[in-house]
Structure 1
Amino acid sequence: MSFEYFIGRRYLRAKRKQAFISLITVLSTAGIAVGVMALIVVIAVMSGFESDLKSRILGGQSHIVVMRHGGPFSEYRKIIKDVEKIDGVESATPVIYTQVMI
């Protein structure tokens, strides 16, 4: 019999005078087990929604933004055609990036 098994059995099977210690041990072990199960469930749910969360975040913003320092591009259509020729680029769209008051 291993030492760990001996100690565990000793605390779980207490004598009559030490029955309260045995109850506390069982409740503590059950509490830790419930906490670990809840943590595993939360981690599983969060990892399951990770791809959905990424697609929602990146759906509103692009991966790369090409800007000209000091003002807008004069020939943006040519730049869009050049960018769309790059391998891996799915689409390119011109946008106006400025401050507005709503």
Structure 2
Amino acid sequence: MVIMIASILVTVLCCMYVYDWFKKKSDGQSSQLSRSKRFLKVSYNQLLKATDGFSEANLIGSGGFCSFYKGTLDVDDDGFVAVKVLHLQNRGAQM
């Protein structure tokens, strides 16, 4: 009787482990896919062009550690972007 209960318990625990492993694996693939859809790879030259060379006219705001610029990318139909430029020479600015 004890051996039967122990075998059932081990089987249930193994099934739970395998289910959890498959769930984590599938969640990782879907989050990686959605991340690639959300974030576009853009070069520095594209950002430079989109913000008109980081001109004052496109400056949204600035603080002690960074500045924000608006721009328009040619890649997307709604290609409006905000670009954060860190002032790494200031102490405390981090990526």
TM-score under structure 2 normalisation? 0.41
| Larger Rg over CA atoms | 1
Bigger fraction of residues in strand: 2
Q: Which has the higher contact order (CA 8 A, sep 6+)?
A: 2
Bigger fraction of residues in helix: 1
